[in-house]
Amino acid sequence: MTTNSRSAAPLLELEHVAKAFGSHVAVEDFNLAVAPGEFISFLGPSGCGKTTTLQMIAGFLAPSRGTIRLEGCDLTQVHPSKRGLGIVFQSYALFPHMTAAENVAFGLEMQRVSKAERAERVRAALAMVGLSGYEDRHPRRMSGGQQQRVALARALVIRPSVLLLDEPLSNLDAKLREEMQIELRQIQRELGTTTILVTHDQTEALSLSDRIVVMSKGRIEQIGTPQDTYERPSSAFVAQFLGKTNDFTARIEGAGPARIVAGGWSAPAPVGLSGPVTISVRPERIGFAETGLPGRVAARIFQGNHWLFQCETECGPAIVVRPNDGLAQPGEGEAVRLAWRPEDMSLRAGAAA
């Protein structure tokens, strides 16, 4: 298993990378250092620049400016086929006239690997993705999940310095996608292959990544571990895009010491903040308490292992998620008070939008 230490020298570096198509700026001032063995996800909505960035790393697009280095070497003038990268596309891009084994062997043939070594590496790669016995099967006779495994084996068999994944699970149904997420992470950890995943699926990024690069409109909004990015979003965009969140309008009152006040809820205020602020709290971090922000349950929904409550408060609407622990839950129309720990919230200056 890889250590994923970012104290090591970066394997891949992007410095001030930008890409423009005419007057449209697709990627602007992208900076990232990727450690050996790290699993990075580029996460964001369609059109945010994540795929464009991946294509610049792969060499399919040339940066308008900036530098991309792999193991200290500038990739700008290196042909895509010479970069030593493995790529899995959203469409898998398997050759329909080739068997699974022939598809996996294709990159090794381009590398002029001997026939005997090629056969052994293909066998091992297919076994690694759970496709032993499928060597002679053509893609048209394979399920979507099996085709995805062949594409992954084809990318890994060449022993790439970096594995690039362009939304490879998006064509799978929800159950199979979850299974493949687990398998992909296990394979990546076992091999220690540095991996960059492009995805718009927040759950996928949270479950697979060592770090997440959240992008919006061609720019990086935040880089951090899944836990840090989820629990301490640096902007309103990150808070809203990476799962559900509640934004409450609050204010800073008093001085020496000042307090954050939201209705009947309050807590010590950080130094340097004043005036109106916005409190962001994840739904599962809010509880019902005897004291706190007054509200009323507008609706409640039973979702099996938890309850979801929609509440109205003077500081804004709220979604509360509470576990189904067998205890009595407040009913619709019931008055409640909402409370949360200061460490479970993030703050930003200005009123909630």
For residue 168, cis peptide bond before it (omega within 30 degrees of 0): no
Distance in angstroms (rounded) separating the CA atoms of residues 13 and 211: 15
d(CA 255, CA 268): 10
Residues 6 or more apart whose Cβ sits within 8 Å of residue 219: 28, 29, 30, 49
CA angle, residues 146, 148, 152, in degrees to nearest 5: 115
Which ranges in the chain are annotated with CATH 2.40.50.140?
Answer: 245-349
Where does the chain hold its CATH 3.40.50.300 domain(s)? 12-240
Tell me what pLDDT residue 5 has.
45
Which tokens hold the place of 162? Answer: 């970096």
Q: What is the pTM of this model?
A: 0.83
Overall fold of domain 245-349: OB fold (Dihydrolipoamide Acetyltransferase, E2P) (2.40.50)
Q: Which two tokens stand for residue 195?
A: 């991996």
12-240 CATH: 3.40.50.300
User: What pLDDT is attached to residue 110?
Assistant: 85
Q: pLDDT tens for residues 294-331?
A: 999 999 999 989 999 999 999 999 999 999 888 889 99
**How far, in Å, CA of 49 to CA of 37, rounded?**
24
pLDDT value at position 2? 39
Q: What is the pLDDT of residues 118-172, one digit of tens each?
A: 999 999 999 988 889 999 999 999 988 888 889 889 988 889 999 999 988 877 7
- Arithmetic mean of pLDDT, 265-292: 90
Q: Do residues 135 and 120 lie in contact, with contact meaning Cβ atoms separated by under 8 Å? A: no
